[in-house]
């Protein structure tokens, strides 16, 4: 058994674990860290339910190796709400009825977060592109797009937040 | 039984390792390789990671562009000097795929994927390859023709191509799923005109054969032509001759052949 | 959202408190926090992984199964074949007396569709299970296969399922579910136009984002806890109890939360074998379909072939409708005999037709067994019926919406399956649709009512 040490920051916390070589980031997060928010929908890198943010970029955890994320910063849905308060994206999805079965929701949230962190005022085409790697079989996408746009509009109204504050 | 992970700084050392170990494979973004392992491909036993810094390098001069094989689509889309390639890079899957998908990896993607390779083919790119014997350079067309015979130990380290004039490069990717769905077909073209007539033309097609292919018959027909609607209409029909598309879940062979002239016409008229 | 309270106002109390109000779903808060517990969202120490060896042939006799090399593979804890399954041949609808039992949990004498489960591998890692699966040797003798519903019904077609003895489900009414009203041949003779059309649909995959699967954890008090994504929890528990030949109270099913179901997670294909694996190893076991299995192996909506022959008068009345519908059940029954029956009850559609003849067949072929999906038995029938209605209207140059007004059923009309129509509202729906879609119809249609007998 080749066990290797892997250390990275997950949702602001330094984490270090020994894993089998070749372990995917998805399995690392779910099995080792105990973070069940990223999902295993296809294991092919095609459905987006495993989307997390690594060093500011959206990544598919199911086809990313944990060993390749050493020293990196990983964000998942588990780190979105602070002090029990929902992140504006979470609140927006709630308000816009943008989840039915809920399985695609974590991936959608992290894809949207990666977008808003890089571009606080995306337009519709930006939002569609940001979510283009995430499959939803229930909602027809429209409520999710509207939810993300509502956060974009509230950023525009209130002024761009500090990077990392949202 | 369990997976192993080996990293190398030197392309030749990595190449020798790949030659010695049948179960070892070079890892790029993981979109092809890790997927296969996830799906139960037990022939893959070792991931090989090449850390050589030149793989992540982007060099843009006035007349040349060099891209390391490990450069990702998302980096290309953000590089100021490569604005003409941004539409191509942005068409390679959604943002999370683009964060991982590499220049080198895209050259090995199976049709109907591999659209960045289509653009490189039209750009007359040359690919650098490391093998146990040493280094070699091949034009991309030769690379694609011999891709399946290429030794498993061959490693693409970089591509380079002459920087096109700003308005000469054109690209379109036709998908049914919008945005960023897999290609029905893609077309990349570098067309230079002098006094209204085509002085040079290279056209590459994606999803129209087993690999990206050059549309040589079309290029012949374009030589010296005036790009008027009448001329374009006459010329585009010749493109189908160089194609052998497959039928897959995205589109049928018949459909791809039927719409290729239409999309060529629109691209050349724009 | 508006509610049209003017329609049927005298039949209804006007004290609605919930309908018409915006109400949040009870599960969305969990979804957006990522804490909704899907079946795989749990930490199970010492978990074993099940992978299935499946038939590579559409139709074949099994000559020999050799698991010896697989059994020696490191990490393999148990290999399960048909002889290990207490009650191997079952059918899900046996719970409501729709037999015969016609589907093995694990194949033993033959395989009837490409992908049919043959050998279950239980190992301490997914990778180990895939490796061991590749070491299983099964010798097959290929048999001729049939993939088309009408070819399957022709004399001399390969017999797909011996538990039925012929390539159709035998209803008490015979080879088809039958509905008969009046005399269609007499109706056709009275008609000014005859339209005969054939409609075909392909199997349709549900493709949920979450794949089918379950995790079984043996409990300390001789019970087994099964975390499953099934849409049919008690139904699956009861079938598992029959297949494993153990009392239902030893089973504890937790679930009912599916990451997309759409009717595709009701076939009991993963729970019984995983429960058995947990019983035989004494360890927790997970069986989670990979994406290939979800798309190709899990059931899809049945392909259907529908022939509709109509007799039409020049003033737009359908006087006779004859329907022959073939539902492609694939190799096994599952829910298709029920689906074909629903289709028979659903034809000829919400229209008053005095002469009707319906025959719905549930046909066996060597295709992936089909099953329920979003209105199965009805959805595809409606596609065929409504395209047919448009074609009929075109024959006599009538507006397709007006054509439907003329034929719409009303309260008191006798339906083809001998039930009087009551509570009809098709006319009112079409009146609203006409306004909202800006598809004008003659004013006499806007004055019609479901509660008035045809003039």
Same domain flag for B45 and B59: no
Q: Which of C25, C43, C208 sits opposite A34 (nearest CB)?
A: C43
Compute the nearest-CA separation of C419 from chain A (Å): 35
Tell me if A44 and C291 make a contact (CB, 8 A cut-off).
yes
Instruction: Tell which wins on pLDDT, B166 or B28.
Output: B28
> Domain of B10: which CATH number?
3.30.43
Compute the nearest-CA separation of C417 from chain A (Å): 35
pLDDT at residue C455, rounded to an integer: 58
**Beta carbons of C366 and C151 less than 8 angstroms apart:** no
pLDDT surpassing 70 at residue A160: no
| Percent of chain C residues topping a pLDDT of 90 | 94
Q: What is the mean pLDDT of residues B179-203?
A: 95
Q: What is the mean pLDDT of residues A117-124?
A: 97
Closest chain C CA to residue A99: C28
C259 in contact with A, Cβ within 8 Å: yes
Same domain flag for B42 and B64: no
* Domains of chain C (ranges, CATH numbers): 48-142+207-297 (3.90.1170.50), 177-204+300-446 (3.30.365.10)
pLDDT at residue A164, rounded to an integer: 44
User: Subunits touching A (CB < 8 Å, at least 3 pairs)?
Assistant: B, C
Compute the nearest-CA separation of B86 from chain A (Å): 14
| Chain C residues touching chain B at CB-CB below 8 Å | 51, 74-75, 126-128, 130-131, 133-134, 290-292
pLDDT at residue A166, rounded to an integer: 39
The mean pLDDT of chain B is 95
pLDDT at residue A161, rounded to an integer: 56
Same domain flag for B157 and B210: no
Q: What is the mean pLDDT of residues C53-81?
A: 98
B40 in contact with C, Cβ within 8 Å: yes
Residues contacting C336, CB < 8 A, separation 6+:
C169, C302, C327, C329, C330, C362, C369, C370, C371
Q: Which of B5, B96, B179 sits opposite A59 (nearest CB)?
A: B96
Same domain flag for B212 and B223: yes
Looking at beta carbons, which residues of chain C come within 8 Å of A44?
291
Task: Return the sign of the alpha-carbon dihedral for residues C333, C334, C335, C338.
Answer: positive
Using DSSP's 3-state secondary structure scheme, residue B106 falls into helix
Cα gap C273→C214, rounded to integer Å? 10
Q: What angle, rounded to 10 degrees, do the helices at C400-407 and C379-395 form?
A: 110
Closest chain A CA to residue B93: A133
Cβ pairs bridging B and C (under 8 Å): 20
In 3D space, the residue among A14, B130, A36, B253 whose CA is nearest the CA of residue C227 turns out to be A36
Closest chain B CA to residue A59: B96
DSSP string, C175-216: SSEEEEES-HHHHHHH-SEEEEEEEEE--B----SSPSEEEE
> Domain of B76: which CATH number?
3.30.465.10
Same domain flag for B74 and B148: yes
Assign C14 a pLDDT band (cuts: 50, 70, 90): confident
Same domain flag for B73 and B35: no
Instruction: Tell which wins on pLDDT, B98 or C221.
Output: B98
Q: Which domain holds residue B23?
A: 4-50
Tell me if B34 and A2 make a contact (CB, 8 A cut-off).
no
Looking at beta carbons, which residues of chain A come within 8 Å of B77?
none
Looking at beta carbons, which residues of chain C come within 8 Å of A94?
24, 28-29, 32
Same domain flag for B46 and B57: no
Same domain flag for B36 and B60: no
Q: What is the mean pLDDT of residues A44-49?
A: 97
C28 in contact with A, Cβ within 8 Å: yes
Looking at beta carbons, which residues of chain B come within 8 Å of C126?
40
Q: What is the mean pLDDT of residues C91-115?
A: 97
* Domains of chain A (ranges, CATH numbers): 3-79 (3.10.20.30), 88-158 (1.10.150.120)
**What does the block give as tokens for C395?**
């024959």
The residues pairing with C76 across neighbouring beta strands, listed in sequence order, are C123
Tell me what ipTM this predicted complex has.
Answer: 0.94
Same domain flag for B148 and B60: yes
Q: What is the mean pLDDT of residues C268-292?
A: 98
Q: Which of C128, C290, C292 sits opposite B1 (nearest CB)?
A: C128
Closest chain C CA to residue A107: C34
pLDDT surpassing 90 at residue C251: yes
Q: What is the mean pLDDT of residues A13-41?
A: 97
Q: What angle, rounded to 10 degrees, do the helices at A105-118 and A142-158 form?
A: 30
> Domain of B200: which CATH number?
3.30.390.50
Looking at beta carbons, which residues of chain B come within 8 Å of A45?
30-31, 34-35, 97, 100
pLDDT surpassing 80 at residue A35: yes
B3 in contact with C, Cβ within 8 Å: yes
Cβ pairs bridging A and C (under 8 Å): 92
Closest chain C CA to residue B3: C127
Q: What is the mean pLDDT of residues B243-263?
A: 96
Using DSSP's 3-state secondary structure scheme, residue C77 falls into strand
User: Subunits touching B (CB < 8 Å, at least 3 pairs)?
Assistant: A, C
Same domain flag for B89 and B158: yes
Assign C16 a pLDDT band (cuts: 50, 70, 90): confident
Cis peptide before C100 (omega within 30 of 0): yes
Tell me if C33 and A97 make a contact (CB, 8 A cut-off).
no
pLDDT at residue A110, rounded to an integer: 98
Looking at beta carbons, which residues of chain C come within 8 Å of B42?
127, 130-131, 134
pLDDT surpassing 80 at residue A77: yes
Looking at beta carbons, which residues of chain C come within 8 Å of B47?
none
Closest chain C CA to residue B39: C290
**What does the block give as tokens for C43?**
């930490």
Tell me if A36 and C30 make a contact (CB, 8 A cut-off).
no
Q: What angle, rounded to 10 degrees, do the helices at C426-436 and C400-407 form?
A: 160
Looking at beta carbons, which residues of chain A come within 8 Å of C32?
86, 90-91, 93-94, 99, 105, 109
The mean pLDDT of chain C is 96
**Beta carbons of C76 and C123 less than 8 angstroms apart:** yes
Cα gap C363→C147, rounded to integer Å? 10
Compute the nearest-CA separation of B45 from chain A (Å): 9
If one counts the domains in chain B, the total is 3
Tell me if A105 and C32 make a contact (CB, 8 A cut-off).
yes
Range C110-145 burial, b when 16+ CB lie within 10 A, else e: bbbbbbbbbbbbbbbbbbbbbbbbbbbebebeebeb
Compute the nearest-CA separation of A46 from chain B (Å): 9
Looking at beta carbons, which residues of chain C come within 8 Å of A34?
43
| Percent of chain A residues topping a pLDDT of 90 | 90
Residues contacting C169, CB < 8 A, separation 6+:
C329, C333, C336, C337, C340, C361, C362, C363, C364
| Percent of chain B residues topping a pLDDT of 90 | 92
Looking at beta carbons, which residues of chain B come within 8 Å of C131?
1, 42
Tell me if B39 and C290 make a contact (CB, 8 A cut-off).
yes
C229 backbone φψ class: left, alpha, beta (φ>0; ψ -120 to 50): alpha
Tell me if C209 and A37 make a contact (CB, 8 A cut-off).
no
Residues contacting A112, CB < 8 A, separation 6+:
A89, A127, A130, A131, A148, A151
pLDDT at residue B149, rounded to an integer: 84
pLDDT at residue A53, rounded to an integer: 98
Q: What is the mean pLDDT of residues C333-350?
A: 96
Cα gap C400→C93, rounded to integer Å? 40
Tell me if B31 and A63 make a contact (CB, 8 A cut-off).
yes
Tell me if A101 and C261 make a contact (CB, 8 A cut-off).
yes
Same domain flag for B80 and B154: yes
**What does the block give as tokens for B211?**
């690999």
Q: What is the mean pLDDT of residues A141-146?
A: 98
pLDDT surpassing 60 at residue C446: yes
Best A60, A101, A133, A143 residue to mutate vs chain C (most C CBs within 10 Å): A101
pLDDT at residue A41, rounded to an integer: 98
Tell me if A43 and B100 make a contact (CB, 8 A cut-off).
no
Same domain flag for B43 and B98: no
Return phi, psi of residue B201, to 5°.
-150, 130
pLDDT at residue A1, rounded to an integer: 60
Tell me if B2 and C292 make a contact (CB, 8 A cut-off).
no
pLDDT surpassing 70 at residue C305: yes
pLDDT at residue B1, rounded to an integer: 74
From chain B residues 79-98, the ones with a CB under 8 A of any chain C CB are none
pLDDT surpassing 80 at residue C303: yes
């Amino acid at each position: 058994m080749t066990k290797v040490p892997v250390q990275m920051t997950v949702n602001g916390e330094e984490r270090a674990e020994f894993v089998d070589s070749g372990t995917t980031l998805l399995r690392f997060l779910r099995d080792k860290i105990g973070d069940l928010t990223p999902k295993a929908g296809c294991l092919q890198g095609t459905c987006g339910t495993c989307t997390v943010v690594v060093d500011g970029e959206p990544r598919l955890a199911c086809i990313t190796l944990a060993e390749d994320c050493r020293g990196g910063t990983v964000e998942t849905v588990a780190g979105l709400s602070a002090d029990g308060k929902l992140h504006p994206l979470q609140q927006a999805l709630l308000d816009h009825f943008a989840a039915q079965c809920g399985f695609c929701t974590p991936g959608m949230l992290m894809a949207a977060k990666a977008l808003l962190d890089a571009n606080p005022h995306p337009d519709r085409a930006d939002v569609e592109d940001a979510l283009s790697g995430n499959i939803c079989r229930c909602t027809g996408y429209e409520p999710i797009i509207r939810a993300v746009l509502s956060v974009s509009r509230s950023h525009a109204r209130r002024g761009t937040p500090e990077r990392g504050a949202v | 039984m369990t997976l192993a992970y080996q990293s190398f700084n030197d392309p030749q050392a990595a190449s020798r390792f790949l030659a010695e170990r049948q179960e070892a494979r070079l890892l790029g973004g993981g979109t092809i390789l890790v997927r296969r392992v996830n799906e139960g491909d037990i022939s893959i036993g070792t991931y090989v990671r090449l850390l050589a810094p030149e793989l992540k390098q982007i060099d843009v001069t006035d007349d040349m562009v060099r891209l390391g094989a490990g450069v990702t689509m998302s980096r290309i889309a953000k590089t100021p000097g490569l604005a003409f390639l941004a539409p191509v890079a942005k068409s390679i899957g959604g943002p999370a795929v683009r964060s991982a998908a590499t220049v080198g990896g895209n050259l090995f993607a199976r049709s109907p994927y591999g659209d960045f390779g289509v653009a490189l083919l039209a750009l007359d790119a040359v690919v650098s390859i490391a093998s146990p014997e040493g280094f070699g350079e091949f034009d991309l067309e030769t690379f694609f023709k011999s891709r399946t015979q290429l030794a498993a130990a061959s490693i693409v380290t970089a591509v380079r191509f002459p920087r096109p004039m700003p308005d000469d490069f054109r690209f379109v990717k036709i998908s049914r799923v919008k945005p960023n769905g897999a290609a029905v077909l893609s077309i990349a073209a570098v067309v230079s005109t002098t006094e209204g007539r085509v002085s040079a033309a290279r056209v590459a097609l994606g999803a129209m054969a087993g690999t990206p292919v050059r549309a040589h018959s079309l290029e012949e027909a374009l030589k010296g032509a005036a790009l008027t609607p009448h001329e374009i209409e006459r010329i585009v029909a010749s493109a189908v001759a160089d194609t052998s598309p497959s039928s897959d879940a995205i589109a049928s062979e018949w459909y791809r052949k039927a719409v290729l002239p239409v999309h060529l016409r629109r691209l050349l008229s724009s | 959202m508006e509610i049209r309270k003017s329609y049927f106002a005298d039949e209804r109390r006007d004290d609605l408190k919930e309908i018409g109000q915006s109400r949040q779903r009870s599960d969305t808060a969990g979804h957006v926090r990522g804490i909704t517990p899907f079946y795989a969202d749990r930490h199970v120490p010492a978990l074993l992984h099940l992978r299935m060896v499946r038939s590579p042939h559409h139709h074949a006799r099994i000559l020999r199964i050799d698991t010896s090399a697989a059994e020696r593979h490191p990490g393999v804890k148990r290999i399960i074949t048909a002889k290990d399954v207490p009650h191997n041949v079952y059918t899900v609808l046996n719970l409501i007396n729709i037999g015969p039992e016609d589907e093995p949990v694990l194949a033993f004498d033959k395989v009837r569709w490409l992908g049919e489960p043959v050998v279950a591998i239980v190992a301490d890692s997914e990778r180990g299970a895939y490796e061991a699966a590749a070491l299983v040797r099964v010798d097959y003798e290929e048999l001729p296969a049939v993939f088309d519903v009408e070819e399957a019904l022709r004399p001399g077609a390969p017999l797909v399922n011996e538990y039925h003895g012929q390539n159709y489900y035998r209803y008490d009414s015979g080879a088809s579910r039958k509905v008969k009203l009046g005399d269609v041949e007499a109706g056709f003779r009275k008609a000014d136009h005859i339209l005969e059309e054939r409609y075909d649909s392909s199997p349709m995959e549900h493709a949920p984002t979450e794949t089918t699967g379950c995790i079984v954890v043996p409990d300390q008090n001789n019970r087994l806890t099964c975390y499953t994504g099934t849409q049919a929890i008690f139904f699956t528990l009861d079938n598992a109890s029959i297949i494993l030949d153990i009392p239902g109270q030893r089973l504890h099913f937790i679930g009912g939360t599916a990451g997309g179901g759409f009717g595709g997670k009701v076939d009991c294909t993963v729970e019984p074998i995983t429960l058995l694996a947990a019983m035989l190893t004494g360890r927790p076991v997970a069986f989670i379909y990979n994406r290939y299995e979800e798309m190709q192996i899990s059931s899809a909506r049945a392909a259907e072939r529908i022939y509709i022959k109509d007799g039409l008068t020049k003033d737009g009345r359908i006087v006779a409708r004859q329907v022959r519908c073939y539902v492609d059940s694939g190799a096994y029954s599952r829910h298709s005999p029920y689906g074909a029956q629903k289709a028979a009850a659903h034809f000829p559609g919400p229209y008053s037709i005095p002469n009707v003849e319906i025959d719905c067949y549930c046909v066996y072929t060597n295709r992936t067994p089909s099953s329920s999906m979003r209105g199965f038995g009805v959805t595809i029938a409606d596609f065929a019926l409504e395209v047919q209605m448009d074609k009929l209207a075109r024959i006599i140059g009538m507006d397709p919406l007006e054509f439907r007004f003329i034929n719409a059923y009303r309260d008191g009309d006798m339906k083809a399956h001998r039930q009087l129509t009551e509570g009809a509202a098709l006319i009112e729906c079409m009146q609203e649709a006409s306004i909202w879609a800006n598809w004008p119809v003659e004013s006499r249609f806007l004055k019609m009512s479901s509660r008035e007998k045809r003039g």
